[in-house]
Amino acid sequence: GGRAELGDMWTRHRETSSTARSFGAAGLSGALLLAVHGCAGTDSAPTGVDAGADTDGAETRGDGSGIDDDDTGNGTSNDGGGADDTGTGDTGPHDTDGDGDGIVPLYDDGTELEPEIHYDRGDAIVTRFADRGRDRHAREDQFQSYDHYLPHYWEYRTARMMIVDTVAKGGSTIEISYVTEWPLGAIEFRAWYSGQGTVAAYHGNYGAQFTEEGPGTYDNELQKVSDEGTQYKYSYTIESAIGLDGQSSPLALGQFMEFENSQFLDQVPVGRDNYYGTTYLYAVGTGGMVPWSTVGEFADPSSERENSHPIAEAGWSGGGTTLAYMHSGEPDNQYMQMATNLSSVNGQPFVLGRRVHHTNMIDGSHDESAENGLFDDLVGLAGPSFVNDSCDSCHTRNGRAPVAAIGEPLDKWVFRVAAADGGPDPMRGSVLQPFSTDGGAGEGQVSIAQWMENGDGLRSPSYEFTSGTPGRFSARLAPQLVGMGLLEAVAESTVLEWHDPDDADGDGISGRVQRVDDPVTGELRLGRFGWKAGASSLSHQIAGALNTDMGVMTSVKPEPDCGPMQADCGNTEGPELADDHLADLVKYVALLGMRPRRDLDDADALRGELVFGGLGCDTCHRASMTTSPFHPFAELRSQLIHPYSDLLLHDMGPGLEDDLGEGEASGAEWRTSPLWGIGLGACVTGGVEGPFQQQTCTPHESYLHDGRARTIDEAIRWHGGEAEDSALAYQTLVDGDRDALLRFLESL
């Protein structure tokens, strides 16, 4: 029952924001054009390289309600079609002659969709989602053991859940069903928070009343389709609500039911048996899970004792994927969680993809626990030349990489290289791969030789290459991964509305789209991911990172990155990583949950939001947009999101320019970095220190493409080019406005 205090300035925005008042999504303005760019993997081989100069180069209901109304929930078709639903401004799904400038959309009204998560079947509202086993409970910050992953997390430890809610249809019941991958030794489903004696106490302890069916195999409707298998189904119907005071009442629209479903497994073949579950807040009569925060103090029995309340929608940064505020005292694990609305069909692919992400592709080991054993399918895939041996080695905890000390190898960075004329480096190809699996020296090491200090307190790195300085190069620090699936789901038409390469509106901003070739189909796509938007999709970006950063071939990128004079530099026999493993990895990255915006009632943060708008920040860092109804993943469709990006290329001026462009982007052009989650990144990157269950954040800040900015303030002051006026205006702000602006950014 004791409550631990983190006592750390980096958790001063600990999730204590108001949960009742909504400011409305329209009130969110942008931030300054901070080049804190985000992508999955570091940048892969270019679709074209210039010499640094400019080149010419919710659900699917059509009414936007967020609930599927075809009464099937199968999600295999889309009713949001229209004259122009291609997402490019062209006139049909295969017409590229309109103002889409030849861009072919990733998804359109012919895309096959995964099943709906939340839909109206006529007699009830149905919600289907996935859960995983947990070590402790959500509010137990004294244990700091809720958000992490235990050994064997991908084996037998996910559950598919379905809630059938008749309340909105005049009924009075909520039917709970779930399927586990292994039988339970004890059933525990608890609902209606009480907070009496412990922050894990509930009024409704329904486990003994659930029915059990199995073993067998169950489909997505949780219907048994085979007697073969180890899955079991558990069901119970709730017929009344229980208030915080313990009083029962009829179920009614507008109530919120907190629940936790534990998985106490019955002698599971590997790992321990007993696990708790995720703490969810369910919207009675409406369906769906909502992100939540606590109200009251546990130590004050006259308060609500940390009862859960919905977070105001202004805080839902990632739409339905948005997580609850972190109450477990684990600031380093903020970017590692399943989306709140994770579909029942994607729970197992998510954890399988996570296993790929955390596996050393040289020896097959898992980087979190020796108990996880070896992943035989991935042994020996990396190399012979590579930058690092696993995805997590660069994107530790899915966060930005730290800046290494002077003289240390930059093994969490990618250095794109080229000859002096902009073509491939003869002996290194397009990306420097400093390590080798065959005992050789690789393509040479690179480190920071010194920091060049400017007179205004800013700094920039100078590099030392052991194999000779390339004719041209561009340093790229590994960025954070959260939110990428939602950015893939933004329609091309949305981005093209902001495309203004000639500054036709006269606002001084001339952002333009990056256009890249699809590595599989060859079609022209909108560039979305990477520091210069050089990848068109998550599969493109991730396969590119596997290829150049790890030397792993896939069906998307089957050829090694070799210079024209390199011999035997990589595998030439085709794909090494199986397509199913790549698909799982894509789902893992796509379906990571986004933490909510914090400090929703903080006067300084709200003032800072107004300062952003006054400085013209939202011209590039667009606060809000709605994703397409055509994305195959139900979690990402028709979501109102707040990424603070326009996904366009912008000229950031000579201070941030390097001498190697990419595709249609010059050396000075960079994709607008999404700012969501920026206030949590320092603890994710820096991690924690101290004894178990007494750990505190050790923050590490590294912003911009090469980590030169040590603070958000420095990142803003580095802005030039199209953002120079805003950066200069920022520097003339009175201290109170400047501090408010920074506080707002830290709340994202």
**What are the tens digits of pLDDT across the range 269-307?**
999 999 999 999 999 999 999 999 999 999 999 999 999
The pLDDT value given to residue 51: 35
**What is the distance between the alpha carbons of residues 413 and 473, in angstroms, rounded to a whole number?**
12
* % of the chain surpassing 90 pLDDT: 85
The pLDDT value given to residue 258: 99
* % of the chain surpassing 70 pLDDT: 87
**What is the distance between the alpha carbons of residues 299 and 718, in angstroms, rounded to a whole number?**
46
Secondary structure (H, E, C), 249-274: ECCCCCCEEEEEEEEEECCCCCCCCE
The pLDDT value given to residue 92: 40
pLDDT at 515 over 70: yes
**What is the distance between the alpha carbons of residues 105 and 406, in angstroms, rounded to a whole number?**
44
Three-state secondary-structure class, residue 564: coil
Residues paired with 164 in a beta bridge? 126, 175
Indicate the range of 69-78, 123-132, 517-526, 694-703 predicted with least confidence. Answer: 69-78
The whole-model pTM stands at 0.89
pLDDT at 61 over 50: no
The pLDDT value given to residue 100: 57
Q: 518 or 89: whose pLDDT is higher? A: 518
pLDDT at 268 over 70: yes
Query: For the segment 369-418, what is each residue's pLDDT rounded down to a tens digit?
Result: 999 999 999 999 999 999 999 999 999 999 999 999 999 999 999 999 99
Report the Cα–Cα distance between both ends of the chain, in Å, rounded.
Answer: 30
Q: Strands, DSSP E only, in 113-255?
A: 118-120, 125-132, 158-165, 174-180, 184-193, 202-205, 211-218, 224-238, 241-242, 248-249
Torsion, CA 328, CA 333, CA 339, CA 344, rounded to 10: -80
* C-alpha angle 336-338-342 in degrees, rounded to nearest 5: 160
Question: 């390097």: which residue's tokens?
Answer: 658
Three-state secondary-structure class, residue 10: helix
pLDDT at 741 over 80: yes
Let me know how long the chain is: 748
pLDDT at 309 over 90: yes
**What is the distance between the alpha carbons of residues 140 and 329, in angstroms, rounded to a whole number?**
8
The pLDDT value given to residue 101: 75
State the DSSP code for 665: B
**What is the distance between the alpha carbons of residues 348 and 484, in angstroms, rounded to a whole number?**
19
Query: For the segment 163-207, what is each residue's pLDDT rounded down to a tens digit?
Result: 999 999 999 999 999 999 999 999 999 999 999 999 999 999 999
Indicate the pLDDT class of residue 23, thresholds 50, 70 and 90: very low
Indicate the pLDDT class of residue 85, thresholds 50, 70 and 90: very low
Indicate the pLDDT class of residue 355, thresholds 50, 70 and 90: very high
pLDDT at 462 over 80: yes
Torsion, CA 610, CA 611, CA 614, CA 615, rounded to 10: -140
Average of per-residue pLDDT across 302-329: 98
What average pLDDT does the chain have? 89
